[in-house]
Chain A
Amino acid sequence: MKKSGWKLLGMALILTLAFSPAWAAEVIKVGAINDMTGGTCDVGKDYALGIAEAIAYVNDAGGVNGKKIKLFQFDYGYRIPEAVTIYKRLRDYDKVIAVLGWGTGDTEALSPTVTKDKMPYVSASYSAHLTDPKKTPYNLFFSCDYSTNARGCITAWYEEIWLKDPKYKARRQRGDKPRFVCFYSWPTPYSSAPIKAIKDQAKILGFEIGPDQDVSLTALDTKSQVLAAKKFKPDLVWHGNTTMSVATALKDSYALGLGAWHISNNWGFDKNLVKLAGPAAENAIGAVPCAFFGEKGPRFMPKIVEYAKKLNPGIPEKDRLIRTVQAWGDVLLLWEAMKRADKAGKLTGEGIKEAFETLRNFDLGIGAPPVTFTPTDHRPTSIAQMYIIKNGKFKFLKRIDFKKRYPEKWEKEWLGW
C-alpha cells in the first residue's frame, strides 16, 4: 500500500512538471549590431526595426525547432570601434551563437575575429569582399552583392538606354563611347567596395571613365562635385552612398544641368529618394535586392506588414521602407541555417556555417532571387534586379544573371571583389 502511495506522489510530480507554466524552453541567443543614429541611420533604423520584428515572427512560428531566439540588439552609431566592443560583449557576456551585423566597415573589420571565433555573421553589408569562404568563411548575407549590383546597374543602363534611346543614335553610329563617372564617399568601405567591379564592367562594355567624385554620406551640398563632373560631360553617374547623400547629389545634378542618367547601389535607392529629391529622382535606376515594403506577391509580405504594425505601432506604415524587408531576408536566412544545423545536431557556429552551405536555390519568400551557398562560394546569387523611377514610382527594369552571361568570369575571376 505504501508503494502505491509513492507511485501516486511520483505521478503527481511528473504531471506537475509536465504542465508547469514556468517550464523554460531552451533559448538561442542571437546578437544584432545596428546603426540607428549614425551616418547610415537613414536606412539603418528601418533595418533595425525589421530585425526585431522578424525575430518576433520566427519565435511565434516555432523558433528554431521549438527553441526560442533571444535577441540582443544594440545601436553602434556607425562607429566601427563601438561595433567591435559590442561584438565582444555579445560574444563574451551574452554568449550569442550568431550575429546580425550592419555596415561594410565594421563587418570587414570584424571578419578576422568572427572567423577565429567561428561566429556566423549575417550582415547588411553585401560587399563582395565577404563572399570568398577562403578568406571570410563566417560572413554571409542574402542579397546580390554590391559588385554584382553595380555591374547590373551599368549593364542595364547600357542595354536599355544607351543602345535603345534614339537620343544616342548619332553618337552610337559615330562609334562614341558612353561617358561614366562615380560619386561615392572614398573613405567609406560600403561606398568604395564595388568601385573596382563597376569600372571593370564599364571597360567590358566600352565606357570612357571620368574622374571619381568624393561625396560624403552626410553631404548637404554636392555642387562642387557636380561641377567637376560636368567638365567630363558624363552620360551616366554611379551613386555609391546611402539615400540622403544620393538625393543631395541628384538634386544638385538636376539644378546644375549635369544632363546625365543616374544609377545607384541598393542602399541609395528607396522611396525616401523620391521624397527627398522629387523630380530630380525621375528616371534614376537602382539595384533592388527584394520586394519593396508592402508590395504584393512575396509569401512573407503579409507577415512583414503585420509584425511592423504589431511591434512598432507608433511608426506609420507609409514611413516603412524596403530596409525592413531586407532585415527579414537576413533573419529568414539565418533561421533556415539554424534549423538545419539544429536538425543535424550541430547548433554551433561551425554547424550553422555548414548548414548555410547546404542551401541550394532557396527561396526566402521576400521577392529576392533564390540563394545558394557552397563551401567554395558564398555569393548568394548571380542575379541582379534593377528598377527605374517613373512618375515617382518604382518600375521593374531588368534582371541580369551574371553567371549565365559571363560563366567563366563568374567562376574564375570575380569571386571576392
Chain B
Amino acid sequence: MRKSLFIGLVFIIAVGIVGCTVWWAVVPPKVQPPVVKLNRVEVAHYWPFWIEPKKKRGSTLDLAFVFDITNPNKFKVMLDQFRFTTAFEGFELSTPIVYEDIYIPAKTTSQLRVEVTYDAYTALLALLVPAGNVEMLKKKGVKHVNLLKSWWEKVGDFAFPIEVRNGVASFTSDYGEVISSFKATFPFKK
C-alpha cells in the first residue's frame, strides 16, 4: 500500500514537473521590453573650466545620469548592456556603455546611475571632428572654446539642454532577450 502511494506520488510530481517545464518551453511567456526613463541628471563632481589644447588636457566635469528601469513582466529580467549618447545643446559629446549585470524583479522599478566624465580637451575634439557638430558650430557662429566654457559655467543651473540620445538597453531573461530604446532631454519641460 505504502509502495503504491510512494510510486503514485512520484508519478504525480514527475508529470507535474515535466508538464510545467514542457509548457513553459513550448509556450514561453512573451518578454515585454522594460521601460527606461531618465529620472534626473546631477553634477557629480565639478572643477572650474580650463583648457590647454597644445598639451591635450583640460578640466573635467562629471555628470550622473539616473535612470528608472521598470520591469513590466511577471518574471525577473537582467540588464545586460546599457548604452546612450549624451549631447549638450545638440552637440554629441560621449557614448557611455555599461555592462554591469543588474536583475530587476518582476513588476518593480530599479534605478541605475551612470556617471560620465567629460574632459574639456576630449569635448573639444568631439566638437571639432564629427561632421554634424562642425556644421552646427558654424550655424551657431560660436567659437568652440567659448561654447565649452559656457557649458562648464552654466551646468550647475542646467541652463542648457542635456540630451540622452539613441539609448539602447538590452535585457535577458529565462524566456528570451529584449531591447528597449529610450531618449530624454534634461531639464524636463514643465
Contact = CB atoms under 8 A, between A and B. Distances in A.
A312 interface: yes
Interface stretch (A67-75, A132-140, A261-269, A384-392): A67-75
Interface in A40-57: 40-42, 45, 48, 52
B187 interface: no
A217 B13 CA distance: 69
Given A9-B13, A220-B128, A243-B131, 6 more contacts: A5-B11, A6-B10, A13-B17, A75-B97, A217-B129, A218-B124
B73 interface: no
Interface of A: 1-2, 4-6, 8-9, 11-13, 15-16, 19-22, 36-42, 45, 48, 52, 72-75, 77-79, 217-218, 220, 242-244, 272, 275-276, 311-315, 319
Contact of A12 (B4, B14, B94, B166): B14
A39 B174 CA distance: 41
Contacts of B130: 41-42, 45, 244
B95 A36 contact: yes
**9 closest cross-chain pairs (CB), A and B:** A12-B14, A19-B25, A314-B166, A36-B95, A272-B131, A21-B174, A5-B7, A218-B128, A5-B10
B175 interface: yes
Contacts of B83: 52
Q: Which of B24, B95, B179 has the most CB of A within 10 A?
A: B95
Contacts, number: 114
B3 interface: yes
B32 interface: no
Given A9-B14, A36-B95, A37-B93, A311 B126 contact: no
Contact of B14 (A8, A38, A41, A243): A8
A78 B129 CA distance: 12
B128 A73 contact: no
A218 B134 CA distance: 10
Contacts of B93: 37
B17 to A, nearest CB: 5
A21 B28 contact: yes
23 contacts: A1-B3, A2-B6, A5-B7, A8-B7, A8-B10, A8-B11, A8-B14, A13-B17, A16-B17, A16-B18, A16-B21, A21-B174, A38-B126, A40-B129, A45-B130, A72-B99, A75-B96, A218-B128, A244-B128, A244-B129, A312-B168, A314-B181, A319-B132
